[in-house]
Structure 1
Amino acid sequence: MSTTTTKLTLHEDWAVVILGSLIIILSLAGLLLPVPTFAWKTGADLTGTVLGSVNLVKILLQFVFVAIIGGIGALITGKSVKNYALGFPLVYIVTILALVLAGSSQAKSLNLEAVIFSLVLGLLISNFIKLPEWLKSSLSTELFVKIGLVLLGTSVIFGDILKAGSLGLIQALLVVTSVWYFAYWVCKKLKVDDEIAMMISSAVSICGVSAAIATAGAIKGDSKKLSYVISMVLITAIPMMIFMPIIAHYFKFSQAVTGAWLGGSIDTTGAVVASGSLVGETALKISTIVKFSQNVLLGLAAFAISIYWTYTKHPSAQDKETKPTLKVIWERFPKFVLGFIGASLLFSFFLPPSAAATVKDSLKNLQGLWFALAFTSIGLETNFADLFNKNSKKPLYAFLIAQTFNIFITLAIALVLF
């Protein structure tokens, strides 16, 4: 007679909700990690500040904290804790190198975000060095991404958007709905596969990188497809950030209209802030309000997308002829969305502003770190041939067409409202 032992493990989404909540609770309880500095302009800044002993201690403390959280995640989801302990230091070191590169004044002037450096460094390593299978199996891409998304909820504050005025929220609603459906329609016309179509539609219409990540989590999308969509978002944001203020100046648009146009059409928050700053204070304020209004819609969009995906895609054998029941919907529903919405509601309505302000920087830093770790992991498990294959032209065409539509429809709405 043979005996088997059953190892009790949690679904990854529930593990993410637990770990994200744990990080927030520890922060509110006073465990605030010092935020390392990665910004530098000269070699002296790099060696004296970024690589100085004080900053290196902060980076080490951050490593210990994140490694423990990730280790708990590996344990409760049934992954090899030993492999994780051996592989995570490599992921962290590569990620820190990416953050240092992104902190240079040249990278900041081009608004190149840390995640693109994480992805590129990971790709270079995986394509020029044969990585052992145990290392690849130790990568916790989904776990890192979703923890970052739960923490992202702490910065999506409903009250700030409502105080800032209704026009920004109205514009955000109009832009998100019209651009999302147009982008999805274009993807279907070009026969882009469903996963990339959903990611492109959300990225173009809502808030770029975060929306693409949230959508990939909601539909359990392929991380390689996600990395391709993220690359398109970050690359196209650069010329838009530079040329849209020039176009607005040429046509003598008001700062209010220009700000609403920039905030509604440029996909990354950093690029919105940079381009708004080029125009003026009013443009910067309105562009930020519009972009934040779109960010608020992220949790609702992820919820709606997950329900749609459950009803229409990949039915199981027993329910191909019938629609899923509420039980099936709940089983397939991405639970990390609950963590995102819960964090947003907590920081929007239940925490005193002073308490939220105390933990804001620490949580924002950790959120960015988890995303960067995730994209390092994606790079380490991806080949260039998979990322830029011969079938990748159609998603690119769809993205560019949708982004062009986004630019014009957002400008029209901005002219009417502002």
Structure 2
Amino acid sequence: MGILLWLCMASVQAPNWRRYPIGYVIVFFVALVSKMLASNVALNKASLGASIWAIIFGFCVRNAIDLFGQPLPGYLKVAQQTELYIAVSLVLLCIDISVLRPLAPRALFVSWIDTPLLFMVVAWVGWTVLKIDRQTAIILSGATFICGSSAAIALGASMGVPHKTQMPIAIISIFTIPSIIALPYIAHRLEFSSTVSGAWFGGCVDSTGGVIASASIYGDKEAIDTSAVVKMVQNVLIGPLSVLMAWAWSQYELYEQRRFEREEELLAQQQQLFQANDDEDDNHTTANTLSDNRQPTPPTATSKNIKKRDKAHVLLWKRFPKFVIGFVLTAVLFNTTLGEDGDLRGAVNDFSFYVSEWFSTLSFVSIGLGLQLNEMKQNIRNLGMLCTLYLVAQTVDIAITGLLAWVAFTFM
């Protein structure tokens, strides 16, 4: 894994790419310790997964360096490849059509009916009511309603702001733990069937690992299988939603750029008019003499140099989340080349998921390395608003997904 990633760094000539192995060993060691802690029986029952430990340890490493007044070393900075790790993790999520087929209609009903609508409504509430910046609100909302960190990274890449994903992911990773633990007991109390319960967990627990953990606490294999299928169907939304967001945000940027140019042009015309009036006041005699011969001055370029505007398709390609191509290719290859051998398909799927989880853990370590205590103290209000938005979104998601799961797996 490390050698392939090093070749990736070398191919794009990333800064400090020659020292990437040093940073990768540190990040991998932190991920390994996180995995070991997550496999502890007592900690596993408490739903303290590898993602939580990875963020905590990464955070500790970063702020220990800050205590000595040192910047993040170059070998760690180049190994902090959050977007790359999560993209590889997503590409390796092989979608097995044969597993999805029996439950697909009901899983689609649970996963896709409310998700796009609630995603946009909650994002709108975030930037209009809570005054969170637009991109962060979209990232947090998408991560809450789709699949946690994977959706957050994909949406951040689509809008060209991967650095804004760190805080939403950290908040979601921490606040997901109560949901993982509480939902199975609530499902038992409400006397939901195993399939309804599994669909509920799959639709509203943010991460794939958290979904399986919650279904395991519930203690029924049918619930585990149903939750996994519903989560897989929901994960498929990452691709089209990322592409749609890339297109929408590109159009928004072009609109803002055109508006800025119009305002600059209007400002330049006003400045010319004021300058002409000043000249007339200073030289009124000369101005009166030449007034009949003066020709109107056409508007000139603005006082600022406006950057040449990209065409819509160019901007869309820049924003396009490239992992979607790999995600689609992997799914096509998996479902067309392995035949009908269930054991082989299961083995490949399990191995791909295992490697995918490792890359996911590496991404969480990178997220922790990006969280600085001083910045969090300075942005304490914004942190409070993000927590508020997440709690509202998660509460709505739990309630509506529970209702949809009950309808789908009881009456359909």
Whether these two folds match at TM > 0.5 is yes
Contact 1:306 1:333 in 2 (8 A): yes
Contact 2:167 2:371 in 1 (8 A): no
Matches within 5 A, 1:231-310: 231-277=170-216, 278=218, 280-310=220-250
Equivalents in 2 of 1:387, 1:327: separation in Å?
Answer: 35
Equivalents in 2 of 1:351, 1:315: separation in Å?
Answer: 47
Match of 1:123 among 34, 49, 59: 59
Is 2:130 the counterpart of 1:143? Answer: no
Distance 1:221-1:159 versus aligned 2 partners, 3 A rule = farther
Is 2:333 the counterpart of 1:346? Answer: yes
Contact 1:199 1:216 in 2 (8 A): yes
Contact 1:255 1:279 in 2 (8 A): no
**How far did 1:201 drift?**
1.6
Distance 1:172-1:137 versus aligned 2 partners, 3 A rule = closer
RMSD (Å) for aligned C-alpha atoms: 2.7
Deviations 1:294-343 (A, max 9, x none): 12222222222222222214778579669942233223322222112221
Distance 1:76-1:95 versus aligned 2 partners, 3 A rule = same
Distance 1:319-1:139 versus aligned 2 partners, 3 A rule = farther
- The residue type equivalent to 1:275 in the other structure is S
Matches within 5 A, 1:18-417: 66-79=1-14, 80-129=16-65, 130=70, 133-141=73-81, 142-152=83-93, 155-188=94-127, 189-223=129-163, 225-277=164-216, 278=218, 280-313=220-253, 324-354=311-341, 356-387=345-376, 389-390=379-380, 391-417=382-408
- The residue type equivalent to 2:195 in the other structure is A
Deviations 1:342-370 (A, max 9, x none): 21222234442545444333332222222
**How far did 1:163 drift?**
2.7
- The residue type equivalent to 2:30 in the other structure is V
Equivalents in 2 of 1:284, 1:360: separation in Å?
Answer: 16
Contact 1:215 1:302 in 2 (8 A): yes
Aligned partner of residue 163 in structure 1, secondary structure: coil
Contact 1:156 1:295 in 2 (8 A): no
**How far did 1:387 drift?**
4.3
Equivalents in 2 of 1:331, 1:222: separation in Å?
Answer: 13
Deviations 1:23-43 (A, max 9, x none): xxxxxxxxxxxxxxxxxxxxx
- The residue type equivalent to 1:68 in the other structure is I
Equivalents in 1 of 2:197, 2:51: separation in Å?
Answer: 28
Equivalents in 1 of 2:97, 2:58: separation in Å?
Answer: 36
Ranges in structure 1 where 5+ consecutive residues have no aligned partner: 1-65
Deviates more, 1:101-110 or 1:318-327: 318-327
Contact 1:203 1:267 in 2 (8 A): yes
Distance 1:234-1:336 versus aligned 2 partners, 3 A rule = same
Identity across matched positions, percent = 29
Contact 1:272 1:288 in 2 (8 A): yes
Deviations 1:180-222 (A, max 9, x none): 1232122122121122212212112112232223222322334
**How far did 1:134 drift?**
2.3
Contact 1:148 1:368 in 2 (8 A): yes
Distance 1:361-1:265 versus aligned 2 partners, 3 A rule = closer
Contact 1:263 1:288 in 2 (8 A): yes
Contact 1:241 1:271 in 2 (8 A): yes
Ranges in structure 2 where 5+ consecutive residues have no aligned partner: 262-308
Instruction: Tell me which residue corresponds to 2:281.
Output: none
Count of matched residue pairs? 350
Contact 2:10 2:18 in 1 (8 A): no
**How far did 1:279 drift?**
5.4
Contact 1:171 1:290 in 2 (8 A): yes
- The residue type equivalent to 1:297 in the other structure is L
**How far did 1:70 drift?**
1.4
Equivalents in 1 of 2:209, 2:22: separation in Å?
Answer: 34
Report the structure number with the largest CA radius of gyration.
2
Distance 1:275-1:320 versus aligned 2 partners, 3 A rule = same
Distance 1:387-1:281 versus aligned 2 partners, 3 A rule = same
